[in-house]
Structure 1
């Protein structure tokens, strides 16, 4: 479930506790968490490195170390938590790995669904762009223009609902904000991407930035079971206009919100506002 606002929130919560801490020991309990790394190599490389910086790239969390970079994707239910060694914030069966730090605390990764991934890459491969070469520009990239997005859409006949979720085209948008952005822009989710005008793409980009920045300001969206940290909930669920509101009245026209599946994804929209 975590999308860009939730990932940004996780980064903000971790930063004060982790910057300039040294990883003294790495332990793993679920081998499939590591993506493209052998356990012993990962352990050898990560131990005794200092955490210099934490940031996000799209929906990925990036831990910059002295010599390498850790790339984490939370997928559906992944959670990072900084905590005392003798305290488990979530179920032990969810615990997949932990980094014991030089201050005696521990950074743990929990995942009830077991879909998350973690990878260590060299700084060179990360900063030259090869490690995440498949990612498109972030929807919040200040250098992204409506014209650039329009030109991408012109080559695609698939429904705009699906296109906004394709991280190689534009990164950071997930299903919740996809629904909200399309509603705000009054675009039917089944509209082929190449039929959207430059003027409408400009509105879409403006709405996407506003919605995502607002969500970040209130700590993201907390629905179902995901929270950015134990005991910390987001507030954007109170701002949702269509997502999760099937059969409830549209706030603008009182038409019941509809739910359909588009390429297997639950899609909420107003049949009248989004003709």
Structure 2
């Protein structure tokens, strides 16, 4: 129906061009944007449809930096091995790494934002209002803790993990988490998603029976949600950030290759096991 109403046109509010100029977001790309807008600011603008305020840009770009790379993760290894197999197709190696962005790596950013948004909506339905987001002290923290207990309790009752908790390496605390929280606080962007995420960190041990760190992917999801982005778009920002990291891995692979050694190590350690069927 929407296509019929638009007739033969293909509307877009992003970019257009003609023989003499390029327009992006209603601006002249060459005259108004080049050298005047950072890439992070532009990425925010493209998705949100509005130019970010300086404080929003700082939080947003901190999130991108936090998610860009985390060493030899499966996504980085996939990219390097694909490049080993097809060095003529850089795009294939990048795509291979990005395709690994799922529930364990990168996708946690989206999963956490979705979990927090759902918990906030449920709390508002049940209680009519949410706690404040100012530095309200112990009383305000206690109200957020109550919301967090309900949310974590529902996850446990459903037999589901609480996204944003735990990390395979940073067992005692993800170093990115307190920095993102501090930056958001400094810029006045410590909103309900971050407040609830912090509360989850405080109350989950009493419900789950163990203490897990608030991970960097989770805090990034909460920060992005507080910037106004819908949960369904959050994984895209994680992929955007990780593209830079993967490109760095591929550039390093050209100079100091390790993919061949990874392949050989696995191949030489393979142990034949007869099929269990047939």
Q: TM-score scaled by structure 1?
A: 0.23
Bigger share in helix: 2
TM (normalized to structure 2)?
A: 0.23
Higher relative contact order (CA 8 A, sep 6+): 2
Whichever of the two has the greater Rg, that structure is 2
Q: Which has the higher strand share?
A: 1
